[in-house]
Structure 1
Amino acid sequence: MMTTPAEPNRADLGKDPARVSGMFDQVAKNYDRTNTVLSLGNDQLWRAATTKAVAPRRNERILDLAAGTGASSVALAASGAVVVAADFSPGMIAEGRRRHGDVQNLSFTEADATALPFADNEFDAVTISFGLRNVNEPKKALAEMLRVTRPGGRLVIAEFSHPTPRAFAGLYRFYSDRVLPRVAKTVSSNAEAYDYLNESIKNWPDQHTLAAWIRASGWTDVAHRNLTFGIVALHRAVKPL
């Protein structure tokens, strides 16, 4: 019996959780490869910078939100930390378990960033990479991250942002508008998903606005630095004692 392929699921800037989750389910299998191609290999540099910023230590409990297939979680777990990889896409979680289910100090769980299924003060560090802008209530997610982090614990957020050099910003817009959609059609199983991701990046606030959101959520020692001329911003903060 022939089966009809599922229609591509494309989220929009309303960021309905079911639609966003379904979209990521459809791209899970080739997600990491597609990201590497579309970022021209920079995704691996950004992941290394994020891992260094988290500074995981043996036996610490670390929550990796929007973990996808677990590539960032594996890097954190290599330190000996106990890592929980959480994502609201069942497809991503299934792919992560398939690839990395044998890593002893790494577990996968389905979770909504705005209503985390964890106790207060449970983690020494919480991190989220390229996922906060896909949450329909990002400020609520920041408050939830604060709740589950122990006093003195760390927050690290890697997220697409706004390039700062004017000349580079123009080049980046050209790549995003003209080149990225064509490449996505070639390498992705759901090119329309990357149309949404491109739109979500354009509509995401700049570095200073996100820093203000983090501070308003109750985090202290809020700071950020730009990666790749501000294509990505790496935000750090601490939960007050």
Structure 2
Amino acid sequence: MTQSKRADLGKDPQRVSGMFDQVAAGYDRTNTVMTFGNDAFWRAATTRAVAPKRGERILDLAAGTASSSASIAMSGADVVAADFSPGMLAEGRRRHGNLKNLSFVEADAMNLPFADDEFDAVTMSYGLRNVQQPKKALAELFRVTKPGGRVVINEFSTPPGKVFRGLYRLYNAQVLPRVARVAGTNGDAYDYLNESIKDWPDQRTLSAWLREVGWTDVAYRNLSFGIVALHRGIKPAKANKPSNTAKATRTARPKKA
């Protein structure tokens, strides 16, 4: 992984997966430190947006160490924690394997090992940036969701305020990797995190991508001044093919939740 550019959007899945394998043990601890505890707030907001119900089947893609998966599973829903990093899943099993309604699956976001219309809801937190073809991952999430089902994407985003955005980018570039190293985590992984956030599209663009693959009622809400954004959508009861939906919604403006 080169020092100059770890995170262009044409990422190699094996290298990225290997990087996350290396940081799995300290991942949650480092995230809490570097977000000043906001990660718990963001996780709670994601769970509320998913609105899980007992008896539902829910996919948590890019589940990492399954912190969000476990939060959702507390509702009584049957949750599948899926990730492409075996190391992250192993750590998730170690921490949350006692939950009977939580299962773990190694999965490629661009080619999910699930049937069509299998899940009542799907969610993905901080993982879409790591996918080589994020639109393809969104289309796969659409495919495996039941008609009438819902999607929740929580992703790092672009703070709308110019001054705060500048301070945030300075923190990511200069402070975040140092904090990770002090916390005992691979700092290169957090250099990667900074670069992937900097290169990632803004809230309106991601909303447009969701519409393009077929999701309707798309909305987003900024959390923590836009450091992250919570995107939501619904799979129509009679879903159009993504290509038809893309034509119909290409000019639609995303709305805020």
TM-score (normalizing by structure 2): 0.88
Q: What aligned pairs does 1:87-166 form with structure 2 within 5 A after superposition?
A: 87-166=83-162
What does residue 230 of structure 1 align with? 226
Q: What aligned pairs does 1:52-67 form with structure 2 within 5 A after superposition?
A: 52-67=48-63
Matched, 1:73 2:69: yes
Displacement, 1:178? 1.9
Matched, 1:28 2:27: no
Flag structure 1 segments of 5+ consecutive residues without an equivalent: 1-9
Secondary structure, in 3 states, of the residue corresponding to 1:59? coil
Secondary structure, in 3 states, of the residue corresponding to 1:153? strand
Q: String of CA shifts for 1:218-241, please: whole Å, max 9, x gaps.
A: 110000010011110000000011
Q: Partners in 2 of 1:191 and 1:100 — Cα distance?
A: 26
Aligned alpha-carbon RMSD (Å):
1.0
Displacement, 1:11? 4.9
Secondary structure, in 3 states, of the residue corresponding to 2:115? coil
Q: Percent identity at matched positions? A: 71
What does residue 35 of structure 2 align with? 39
Q: Partners in 2 of 1:156 and 1:21 — Cα distance?
A: 23
Q: Partners in 1 of 2:216 and 2:83 — Cα distance?
A: 26
The runs of at least 4 consecutive aligned structure 1 residues that moved more than 2 Å come to: none
What does residue 199 of structure 2 align with? 203
Does the C-alpha gap of structure 1 residues 216 and 137 become closer, same or farther in structure 2, counting only changes over 3 Å?
same
Matched, 1:12 2:4: no
Equivalent pairs, count = 232
What does residue 175 of structure 2 align with? 179
One-letter amino acid of the counterpart of residue 123, structure 1: F
Secondary structure, in 3 states, of the residue corresponding to 1:127? strand
One-letter amino acid of the counterpart of residue 47, structure 1: R
Secondary structure, in 3 states, of the residue corresponding to 1:156? strand
Displacement, 1:15? 1.0
Q: String of CA shifts for 1:15-50, please: whole Å, max 9, x gaps.
A: 100001000000000000011111111111000000
Q: Partners in 2 of 1:31 and 1:180 — Cα distance?
A: 13
One-letter amino acid of the counterpart of residue 230, structure 1: G
Q: Partners in 2 of 1:136 and 1:204 — Cα distance?
A: 12
Displacement, 1:188? 3.7
Contact preservation (8 Å) 1:158, 1:233: yes
Secondary structure, in 3 states, of the residue corresponding to 2:148? strand
Displacement, 1:60? 0.3
Q: 192-201 or 177-186, which moves further after superposition?
A: 177-186
Q: String of CA shifts for 1:68-109, please: whole Å, max 9, x gaps.
A: 011000000000000000000000111111111110100011
What does residue 5 of structure 1 align with? none
One-letter amino acid of the counterpart of residue 7, structure 2: D
